């Protein structure tokens, strides 16, 4: 369906989170910047445990259906030694004797928050017997050669164009040395800490212990900070922080990228059973919200459906904290005319104890727009950094899918640089493997993590108006669209000459889709009730669904999958021309303009345009 490109100016909306009646509910305890926004918040909704969202009243129903496949735990199949093998060389059982210089204390890079007025408020010393779980990071080997390879893989003039690496080839050439990872594990165990999970690509290990053991190992003092929730109307939550630096022996510092996260323990409560049954009836007021069919029509996905492509032959990955109800998913899909199988679930770390609205909508919407794709959900125990950083990395490292979506975003300035960089390192691997990584840019009109990474396609937000027969009437900037110059990354070569005013920094957004509450928010079925929300939490999985269907079409034509989209999007005029340019509307900081702009990037995508013009 070709679309009318006329635009109307959006009415100004105030606040970081734009909600009907000024009420917001958090989708998770992480304070994720792209948590969904509630439309029509009346009544109590369903609370769903930690991270559960309150909701708008709506049609009842409790949802049911057979569960999807669940596979992998403990790092998604990573071996205890980190995978990849050591070429048959036995790993030592004890640490070798290091020199005096090698055991000298060295300052460690860390991603543990420091006090920040209005964001992190110090509540005092953490109890010594409390549990801490943390991530230690390791550097990419031959990183310079990897960057050259990625540049050549996405250069249409290069003989290596579109010759993606396999996961095994990436690990052989770029994973940290297994011996280095093993030695650091031995050192952690000597400190009384327990190593629980090793990432398939060996970029991360997760370890646990008591606060007292952590403090002694890293010569620090963990404290409890109250983090103010960045979403209006949501309660604060506790995190670990520190007032000073962490130290490790020099030999450990030389082999690692630091202590990336340190979090409170994952819940050990059992996950409550689902209960209920599938409710296949749509809400009585279905016209008051966006449906998958409407979104498919607005972004030319229905053109690919008509050609017989719905994502078949493609695996679509979704990274989430906690989980969802299969019965909620099937109720949503069947009620809105989508027939598809339940997702496969890969448990990446500790068992899950609760269900989140964010997880539910990410899976529901990405799966609804690519009903023929095999849906793979990578599931961490919760939405704290230790869970989400590890799960994001593991989803990429396993190399099983061609597109991954992540809507558990945080405003970039609220996350320590070590966390931002760890997402970036994982996304670099995705580019080499030909995996498209999509992330919400957030709802604060500022930049978010992980979409700040140049290797991630950041999906901003628009306000979409449709005619009664589903044609696009207008599309303008949504005022909450996360956007701007990033804090963490220099401008990539493919943005030079396109982006203005970024002071030499990577800029977002790259693309945009409907995210607004007005004129119609998105439908979602959560904990047995129909609710309506907005936000880039929906834009990102919707765009990932489009990419999955595009990959299905391209595979059938003998064309390479999309892979790392950004460099080709910014350098290929034929691809840019397929986007609906958003030229009206503004955020608090930036306005739309012809061509690329901060709030919407290149504009709204055309699925069939991407499928047929990408080189």
Q: ∠ CA(444), CA(532), CA(54), 5° rounding?
A: 80
Residue 209 has φ and ψ, to the nearest 5°, of: 180, -175
Distance, in Å, from the CA atom of 154 to the CA atom of 234, rounded to the nearest integer, reads 42
Q: What is the pLDDT of residue 70?
A: 54
Per-residue confidence (pLDDT) for residue 53, from 0 to 100: 32
Pair of tokens at residue 314: 């493609």
Q: Please name the residue that has the structure tokens 């559960």.
A: 52
What angle, rounded to 10 degrees, do the helices at 143-153 and 167-174 form? 140
- Cα separation of 185 and 130, whole Å? 21
Please give the share of the chain, as a percent, with pLDDT higher than 70: 85
**Does the pLDDT value for residue 380 go beyond 80?**
yes
Strands of 171-245 (E only): list them. Answer: 194-198, 204-210, 222-227, 237-242
CA distance 128 to 485: 41
Q: Do residues 38 and 533 lie in contact, with contact meaning Cβ atoms separated by under 8 Å?
A: yes
SS3 105: strand
Cis peptide before 519, with omega less than 30 degrees from 0?
A: yes
What is the mean pLDDT of the segment spanning 204-220? 98
β-strand pairing of 315-321 with 374-380: parallel
CA separation for the pair 507, 597 (Å, rounded) = 9
The per-residue pLDDT for 409 is: 82
Q: What distance in Å separates the CA atoms of residue 110 and residue 326, rounded to the nearest whole number?
A: 37
350 has a pLDDT exceeding 90: yes
Q: Convert the pLDDT of each residue in 242-261 to its tens digit.
A: 999 999 999 999 999 999 99
- Other CB atoms within a 10 A radius of the CB of residue 191 amount to 14
Question: How many Cα atoms within 13 Å fall on the side-chain side of residue 336?
Answer: 30
Arithmetic mean of pLDDT, 132-160: 98
User: pLDDT tens-digit profile of 461-471?
Assistant: 999 999 999 99
What is the pLDDT at residue 410? Answer: 87
**Looking at the predicted structure, is the pLDDT value of residue 28 above 70?**
no
The residue among 275, 240, 335, 319 whose CA lies nearest residue 48 is 275
Global pTM reads 0.89
Give the tens place of pLDDT for each residue, 173-185.
999 999 999 999 9
User: For residues 140 and 263, is the Cβ–Cβ distance under 8 A?
Assistant: no
Determine which of 5-19, 118-132, 194-208, 529-543 has the lowest per-residue pLDDT on average: 5-19
Tokens 């125990």 appear where? 381
**pLDDT at res. 235:** 78
pLDDT in tens, 360-375: 999 999 999 999 999 9
Write down the pLDDT at residue 32: 44
Planar angle of CA 120, 123, 135, nearest 5 degrees: 60
User: Which position has the higher pLDDT, 481 or 52?
Assistant: 481
User: Whole-number mean pLDDT of the chain?
Assistant: 88
What does the pLDDT look like over 57-78, one tens digit per residue? 333 333 333 444 555 544 433 3
- Which pLDDT score is estimated for 379? 98
pLDDT of res. 439:
98
Residue 563 tokens, joined: 């892979």
pLDDT of amino acid 34: 54
Do residues 379 and 514 lie in contact, with contact meaning Cβ atoms separated by under 8 Å? no
pLDDT of 1 reads: 41
Kindly state the DSSP code that residue 604 receives in the 8-state scheme.
B
For residues 313-321, average pLDDT: 98
**pLDDT for the residue 229:** 66
- Region 121-142 average pLDDT: 97
The rounded distance, in Å, linking the Cα atoms of 328 and 17 is 25
Q: Which two tokens stand for residue 412?
A: 């970039």
CB-based contacts of 355: which residues, under 8 Å, 6+ apart? Answer: 48, 49, 51, 52, 271, 322, 323, 324, 325, 527
Residue 69: predicted pLDDT: 54
Of 22-26, 67-71, 405-409, 437-441, the one with minimum mean pLDDT is 22-26
Chain segment 423-441, per-residue pLDDT in tens: 999 999 999 999 999 999 9
Band (pLDDT 50/70/90 cuts) for residue 89 is confident
């Amino acid at each position: 369906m070709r679309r009318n490109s006329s635009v109307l100016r959006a009415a100004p909306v105030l606040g970081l989170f734009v909600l009907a009646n000024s009420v917001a509910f958090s989708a998770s305890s992480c304070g994720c910047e792209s948590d969904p926004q509630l439309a029509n918040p009346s009544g109590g909704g369903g609370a769903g445990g930690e991270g559960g969202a309150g909701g708008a009243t709506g049609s009842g129903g409790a949802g049911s259906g057979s569960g999807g496949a669940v596979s992998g735990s403990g790092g998604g199949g990573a071996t205890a030694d980190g995978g990849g093998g050591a070429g048959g060389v036995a790993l030592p059982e004890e640490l070798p004797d290091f020199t005096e210089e090698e055991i000298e204390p060295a300052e460690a890079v860390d991603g543990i928050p420091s006090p920040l007025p209005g964001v992190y408020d110090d509540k005092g010393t953490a109890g010594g017997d409390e549990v801490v779980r943390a991530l230690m990071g390791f550097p990419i080997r031959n990183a310079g050669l990897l960057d050259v390879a990625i540049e050549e893989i996405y250069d249409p003039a290069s003989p290596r164009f579109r010759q993606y690496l396999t996961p095994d080839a990436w690990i052989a050439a770029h994973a940290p040395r297994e011996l280095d990872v093993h030695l650091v594990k031995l050192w952690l165990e000597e400190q009384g800490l327990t190593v629980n999970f090793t990432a398939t690509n060996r970029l991360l290990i997760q370890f646990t212990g008591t606060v007292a053991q952590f403090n002694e190992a890293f010569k620090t003092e963990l404290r409890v900070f109250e983090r103010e929730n960045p979403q209006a109307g949501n309660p604060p939550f506790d995190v670990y922080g520190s007032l000073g630096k962490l130290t490790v022996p020099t030999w450990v510092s030389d082999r690692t990228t630091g202590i990336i996260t340190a979090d409170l323990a994952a819940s050990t409560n059992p996950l409550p059973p689902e209960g209920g049954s599938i409710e296949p009836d749509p809400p009585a007021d279905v016209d008051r919200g966006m449906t998958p069919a409407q979104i498919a029509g607005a972004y030319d996905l229905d053109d690919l459906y008509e050609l017989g492509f719905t994502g078949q032959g493609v695996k679509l990955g979704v990274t989430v904290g906690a989980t969802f109800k299969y019965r909620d998913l099937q109720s949503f899909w069947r009620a809105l005319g989508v027939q598809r199988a339940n997702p496969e679930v890969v448990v990446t770390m500790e068992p899950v104890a609760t269900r989140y609205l964010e997880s539910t909508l990410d899976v529901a919407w990405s799966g609804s727009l690519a009903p023929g794709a095999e849906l793979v959900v990578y599931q961490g125990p919760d939405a704290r950094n230790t869970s989400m950083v590890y799960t994001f990395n593991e989803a990429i490292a396993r190399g099983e899918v061609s597109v991954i979506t992540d809507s558990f975003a945080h405003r970039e300035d609220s996350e320590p640089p070590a966390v931002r960089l760890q997402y970036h390192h994982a996304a670099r691997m995705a580019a080499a493997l030909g995996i498209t990584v999509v992330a919400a840019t957030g709802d604060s009109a500022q930049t978010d993590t992980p979409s700040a990474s140049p290797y991630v396609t950041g999906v901003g937000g628009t306000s979409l108006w449709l005619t009664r027969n589903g044609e696009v009437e207008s599309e303008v900037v949504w005022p909450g669209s996360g956007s701007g110059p990033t804090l963490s990354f220099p401008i990539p070569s493919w943005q030079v000459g396109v982006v203005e005013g970024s002071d030499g920094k990577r800029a977002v957004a790259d693309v945009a889709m409907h995210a607004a509450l007005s004129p119609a928010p998105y439908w979602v079925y959560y904990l047995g009730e129909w609710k309506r929300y907005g936000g880039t939490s929906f834009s990102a999985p919707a765009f990932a669904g489009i990419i999955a269907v595009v990959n299905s079409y391209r595979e059938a034509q003998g064309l390479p999958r999309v892979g790392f989209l950004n460099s080709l999007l910014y350098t290929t005029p034929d691809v840019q021309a397929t986007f609906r340019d958003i030229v009206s509307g503004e955020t608090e900081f930036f306005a739309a303009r012809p061509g690329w702009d901060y709030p919407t990037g290149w504009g709204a995508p055309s699925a069939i345009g991407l499928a047929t013009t990408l080189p």
